[in-house]
Structure 1
Amino acid sequence: MKRIIAVIREEMFESVKKALIEEGCEGMNVSSVKGRGRQLGIKESYRGSSYCIDLIPKTRIELIVNEEDLEDILNLILESARTGEVGDGKIFVSDVEEVIRIRTGERGSDAV
C-alpha cells in the first residue's frame, strides 16, 4: 500500500476531489495548510505600501491506495490539479506498512 500526500492550489481542490470520487477513491483526509516553494510568495501593494505574503494557502489531500492503483491515482491528480503555473503544488508518495479498520478489525488492502 502507498500513501499519497498531494499539496495543491485551494481553487483546484473541487476538481481533484470530483475526479478521485469518479475513480472510486472516496476515502481521503483533507486539510488547509500554508507553505511556500519556488513560488516564494505573492507580492502585493496596499495603499502605497508593498508587502509579501510568503506563506501561500494550499490544500493537502492524503490518501492510502493499493499499489496497483497508484499510477492511475497519481495521473488523475496531476491532470486535475495542473494549471501549468508556478505554485501548482507537489505530490509525495511513501510506503504504508499496515492499515487497520478500527470498526471491523480488517487489515491490509481490505481496510483500504
Structure 2
Amino acid sequence: MKYVIAIIKPHKLDEVREALAAIGVAGMMASEVKGFGRQKGQTEIYRGAEYATNMVPKVKVEVALPDSLADRAVEAIQQAANTGSIGDGKIFVLDLQSALRIRTGETGETAL
C-alpha cells in the first residue's frame, strides 16, 4: 500500500478530485495549509498598501492506495494540478505499513 501526499494550488482541488475519481480512487482527504518553497512567499496589496507574505495558501491532498493504483494516481494528480507556473506543488509517495477500517475491523487493502 502507498500513501500519496500532494501539495497543490487551491483552485486545482476539484480537478484533482475528478482525476482521482476517474481512475477509481474511492476517497481522499483535503486540508487547507500554508507553506513556501521556491516561491519564498508572495506580495499582496491590501487597502492600497503592498506587503509581503512568507506563507502561501495551498491544499494538501492525502490518499491511501493499493500499490496497483499508486503510479496512476501520481500521474493523474500531476496532470490535473499542473498549471506550468511556479508554485504548482509537490507530490510525495510513502509506503503505508497498515490500514484498519474502524467500523468493520478490516485490515490491509480491504480497509481502503
What is the TM-score with the length of structure 2 in the denominator?
A: 0.93
Question: Partner of 2:8: helix, strand, or coil?
Answer: strand
List aligned pairs for 1:15-54, cutoff 5 A: 15-46=15-46, 49-54=49-54
Count of residues paired in the alignment: 112
List aligned pairs for 1:1-112, cutoff 5 A: 1-46=1-46, 49-112=49-112
Q: Give me the whole-angstrom Cα distance separating, in 2, the residues matched to 1:102 and 1:46.
A: 46
Q: Give me the whole-angstrom Cα distance separating, in 2, the residues matched to 1:77 and 1:57.
A: 18
Deviations 1:54-101 (A, max 9, x none): 111101010001111111000000000000111000111111111011
Q: Give me the whole-angstrom Cα distance separating, in 2, the residues matched to 1:83 and 1:44.
A: 21
Q: 1:102 to 1:46 in 2, by over 3 A?
A: closer
What is the TM-score with the length of structure 1 in the denominator?
A: 0.93
Aligned-residue sequence identity (percent) comes to 42
Give, as a single letter, the amino acid of the residue that structure 2 aligns with 1:91.
Answer: I
RMSD: 1.3
Question: Partner of 1:15: helix, strand, or coil?
Answer: helix
Deviations 1:26-60 (A, max 9, x none): 31111100000001111234466431111111010
Q: Which runs of 5+ in 1 are unaligned?
A: none
Give, as a single letter, the amino acid of the residue that structure 2 aligns with 1:7.
Answer: I
Runs of 4+ in 1 over 6 A off after TM superposition: none
Give, as a single letter, the amino acid of the residue that structure 2 aligns with 1:44.
Answer: E
Single out whichever of 4-13 and 45-54 deviates more from structure 2.
45-54
Question: Partner of 2:68: helix, strand, or coil?
Answer: helix
